[in-house]
């Protein structure tokens, strides 16, 4: 029995080494650079244009906003007179998450603003908790929109990005014309992260640090696709690269900060519950049924009652898991287009 177990472990180790070797070869032949000189290279093209094939071409379209000495990168595409739509990503993603949605939204006459939140993607990195709080991140969002001279806008958040959306609404409710609630964190109920949240326990410490390790992240990233996607065929190397490289450059610190300070965030949520009851912001709910992390069936009733969402503005989509933006972006765009007018 012991010999059998040893053999199995040995085979798994050999397989892991071979996999790492093949991935290393692939990554070397598909190496993506990420430098300041690349950002903004495609801004001379018409604003209606946004054509990307990989992370490098996506970075070419990003612009730079300076907030208190910090560089915030963001995508701003579409007609300047189009309907402003602010798309806020979560953890550990960045504006790359929206790349499949952007062309369709531009075609519907939206002006799409999708930032790399501070600490994420190509934006500046830091590991200080005070700079990564929900309040501070929302200040940056509002400052960005002020810098773009956009006084009112629709907003949509995903994953941890929903927390920044709640805070943005709290700070400036008069600026929000429409609210699109995607797979969002609203209560502890219905939130089933793959690692323990709220305390710096062994699991959170390991997962947070593993995200910054080129060796360990490969296993984490490809294994996590079973959580993030309903159909694993979407987990191409090109797709993963868009999330992979920023983690090596400091975004893993944002994930670590999130999972080890979730108890603070959770205490803020009841305050939001009370404040939002007095708001009258047109709201739609777009959730995906196969999300194992944020379960729509558990949170939709609470959100619908709180924001007084009409029944025909509640959508629980069958085709997708946590990263539905990767799987059926066209369906999301259609629903947003029908709602935000």
Q: Tens of pLDDT along the chain (341 residues)?
A: 666 565 666 666 666 665 555 555 555 554 555 667 788 888 888 888 999 988 889 999 999 999 999 999 999 999 999 999 999 999 889 999 999 999 999 999 999 999 999 999 999 998 788 999 999 999 999 999 999 999 999 999 999 999 999 999 999 999 999 999 999 888 777 887 766 665 556 666 666 666 655 555 666 666 667 778 888 888 887 888 888 778 777 888 888 888 888 888 888 887 777 778 788 899 999 998 888 888 888 889 888 988 889 999 999 998 888 888 999 999 999 999 999 97
Report phi then psi at 99, rounded to 5.
-60, -35
Residue 45, in any domain of the structure: yes
How many residues can be counted in the chain? 341
Q: Is residue 14 part of a domain?
A: no
Question: Are β-strands 83-88 and 70-77 bridged in parallel, bridged antiparallel, or unpaired?
Answer: unpaired
d(CA 177, CA 162): 16
- Residue 231 domain-assigned (yes or no): yes
| Helix, strand, coil percentages for the chain (3-state, nearest 5) | 50, 15, 35
**Encoding tokens for residue 230?**
């309903």
Query: Residue 193 maps to which CATH number?
Result: 3.40.50.1820
Asked, for residue 116, whether it belongs to a domain, the answer is: yes
Nearest Cα neighbor of 268 from 143, 127, 162, 113 is 162
Q: Is 293 helix (H, G, I), strand (E, B) or coil?
A: coil
* Number of domain units in the chain: 1
In a domain, 11, yes or no: no
Rounded to 5°, the CA angle 61-66-68 comes to 155
Distances (CA, A) of 224 to 119, 238, 322: 21, 16, 10
Range of the domain at 325: 32-339
Global pTM value: 0.88
Q: Is residue 8 part of a domain?
A: no
How many Cα atoms occupy the beta-carbon half-sphere of 76 within 13 Å? 19
Structure tokens at 130: 């005070």
Residues 6+ apart with CB under 8 A from 48: 77, 78, 79, 106
Would residue 300 count as lying in a domain?
yes
Cβ atoms within 10 Å, residue 216: 14
In DSSP terms, 112 is beta-bridged to 77, 85
DSSP designation for 42? T
Structural domain includes residue 176 = yes
């Amino acid at each position: 029995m012991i010999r059998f177990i040893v053999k199995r472990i040995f085979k798994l180790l050999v397989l892991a080494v071979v996999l790492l070797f093949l991935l290393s070869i692939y990554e070397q032949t598909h190496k993506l650079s990420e430098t300041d000189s690349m950002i903004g290279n495609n801004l001379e093209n018409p604003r209606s244009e946004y054509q990307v094939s990989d992370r490098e071409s996506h970075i070419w379209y990003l612009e730079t906003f300076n907030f208190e000495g910090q560089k915030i990168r963001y995508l701003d595409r579409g007609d300047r007179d189009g309907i402003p739509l602010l798309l806020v990503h979560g953890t550990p993603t960045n504006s790359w998450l929206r790349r499949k949605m952007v062309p369709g939204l531009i075609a519907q006459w939206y002006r799409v603003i999708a930032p790399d939140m501070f600490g994420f993607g190509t934006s500046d990195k830091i590991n200080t908790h005070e700079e990564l709080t929900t309040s501070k991140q929302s200040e940056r969002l509002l400052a960005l929109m002020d810098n773009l001279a956009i006084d009112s806008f629709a907003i949509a958040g995903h994953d941890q990005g929903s927390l920044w959306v709640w805070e943005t609404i709290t700070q400036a409710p008069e600026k929000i014309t429409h609210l699109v609630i995607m797979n969002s964190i609203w209560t502890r109920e219905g939130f089933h992260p793959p690692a323990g949240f709220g305390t710096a326990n062994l699991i959170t410490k390991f997962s947070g640090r593993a995200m910054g390790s080129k060796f360990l992240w490969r296993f984490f990233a490809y294994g996590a696709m079973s959580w993030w996607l309903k159909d694993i065929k979407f987990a191409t190397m090109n797709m993963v690269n868009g999330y992979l490289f920023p983690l090596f450059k400091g975004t893993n610190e944002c994930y670590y900060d999130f999972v080890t300070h979730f108890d603070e965030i959770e205490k803020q949520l009841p305050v939001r519950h009370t404040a939002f009851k007095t708001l009258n912001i047109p709201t739609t709910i777009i959730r995906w049924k196969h999300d194992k992390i944020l379960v729509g069936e558990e949170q939709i009733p609470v959100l619908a009652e709180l924001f007084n969402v009409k029944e025909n503005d509640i959508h629980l989509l069958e085709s997708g898991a946590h990263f539905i933006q990767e799987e059926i972006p066209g369906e999301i765009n259609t629903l947003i287009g029908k709602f935000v007018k």
